[in-house]
């Protein structure tokens, strides 16, 4: 929705496919368009997302920077360090979906 005119646009799956895992409700993002046709959404470099599911950490598995898989509130799955737990908020790079850091609340 345009925050100045309150005009709403319907975006097709071709515009949304690459960014859907980084979008949250009520988040303000930029839309790039040409001749009134939407081309792409411009996301920030990183977004903060809550972990809704995390694999169990295996005790003693600390060699070679181990990681585990988590699922985030948007459905995105990411590899994170073993200390990340369900309920944590992590920063994710929107260019490749990789873990950046855990966010202090």
Instruction: Report how far Cα 14 is from the mean position of its chain's Cα atoms.
Output: 18
Domain boundaries, the chain: 46-103
SS3 state at 40: strand
| End-to-end CA, the chain | 29
The confidence score (pLDDT) of residue 62 equals 64
Tokens in use for 39?
A: 């081309």
In the CATH scheme, what is the homologous superfamily, with its name and number, of domain 46-103?
Nucleic acid-binding proteins (2.40.50.140)
- Cα separation, 42 vs 91, in Å, equals 17
Could you read off the pLDDT of 57-102 as tens digits, one per residue?
776 666 677 899 999 999 999 999 999 999 999 999 999 999 999 9
Could you read off the pLDDT of 8-38 as tens digits, one per residue?
877 878 778 888 999 998 888 888 888 878 8
The confidence score (pLDDT) of residue 63 equals 66
pTM, two decimals, is: 0.82
- Cα separation, 59 vs 41, in Å, equals 42
């Amino acid at each position: 929705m345009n925050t100045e005119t309150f005009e709403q646009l319907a975006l097709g799956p071709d515009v949304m496919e690459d960014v859907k895992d980084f979008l949250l409700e009520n988040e303000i993002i930029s839309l790039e368009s040409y001749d009134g046709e939407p081309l792409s959404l411009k996301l920030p470099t990183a977004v903060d997302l809550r972990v809704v599911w995390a694999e169990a950490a295996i005790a003693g598995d600390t060699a070679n920077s181990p990681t585990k898989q988590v699922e985030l509130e948007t459905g995105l799955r990411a590899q994170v360090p073993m200390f990340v737990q369900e309920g944590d908020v992590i920063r994710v790079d929107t260019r490749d979906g990789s873990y950046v850091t855990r966010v202090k609340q």
